[in-house]
């Protein structure tokens, strides 16, 4: 199979990067995401994992992919896929709006933009993610925008994933 690429962007900040899908390591996850593209939604900056931005989506795969190519220590440029039930996101401390909490399954598509990430949540413990993509171009500009998002706020910003 030929390499497949997607664009990951922050609309308001006008920045994007390109990632290669890791079809050889996470084929079921890559297929699920590819078939669902384009996807976009409100962006959040991680509280616990450190250098991560993500958007939450209703489940879009016929079957949720198994935990293929897992990590609890994502590196810069990793795209990760997480699945949560509504009850897992239900703690008020997370601050999510009601639609995300009422879904039976919520998918979290995340971009890690810097080092020293650890997927450990004080409420539930380790939260392994599926690494399904790796940024191959534009990470430095995206990282700058992510730092701005952390400091200036995420309100009104959209994180989007599209076929390149």
Each domain of the chain, given as residue ranges in start order, spans 5-163
pLDDT at residue 99 in the model: 60
**Furthest CA-CA distance within the chain:** 44
- The pLDDT confidence band at residue 101, using thresholds 50, 70 and 90, is low
How many Cβ atoms sit within 10 Å of the Cβ of residue 86?
A: 16
Q: Report the chain's mean pLDDT, rounded to a whole number.
A: 93
Average pLDDT value for residue range 3-29: 98
pLDDT tier for residue 4 given thresholds of 50, 70 and 90: very high
* Residues in Cβ contact with 103 at an 8 Å cutoff, skipping those fewer than 6 apart: 58, 59, 86
pLDDT tens sequence across 48-96: 889 999 999 999 999 999 999 999 999 999 999 999 987 787 766 777 7
User: What are the tens digits of pLDDT across the range 113-148?
Assistant: 999 999 998 888 999 999 999 999 999 999 999 999
CATH of domain 5-163: 2.40.100.20
């Amino acid at each position: 199979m030929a390499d497949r690429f997607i664009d990951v962007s922050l609309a308001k900040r006008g920045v994007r990067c390109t990632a290669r899908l890791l079809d050889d390591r996470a084929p079921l996850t890559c297929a699920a995401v590819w078939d669902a593209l384009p996807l976009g939604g409100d962006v959040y900056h991680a509280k616990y994992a450190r250098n991560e931005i993500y958007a939450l989506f209703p489940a879009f795969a016929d079957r949720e992919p198994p935990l293929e190519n897992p990590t609890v220590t994502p590196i810069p440029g990793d795209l990760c896929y997480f699945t949560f039930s509504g009850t897992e996101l239900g703690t008020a401390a997370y601050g999510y709006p009601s639609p995300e909490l009422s879904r039976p399954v919520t998918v979290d598509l995340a971009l890690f933009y810097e080092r020293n990430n650890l997927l450990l949540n004080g409420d539930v413990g380790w939260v392994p993610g599926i690494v399904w993509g790796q940024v191959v171009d534009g990470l430095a500009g995206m990282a700058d925008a992510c730092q701005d998002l952390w400091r200036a706020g995420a309100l009104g910003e959209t994180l989007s994933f599209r076929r390149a």
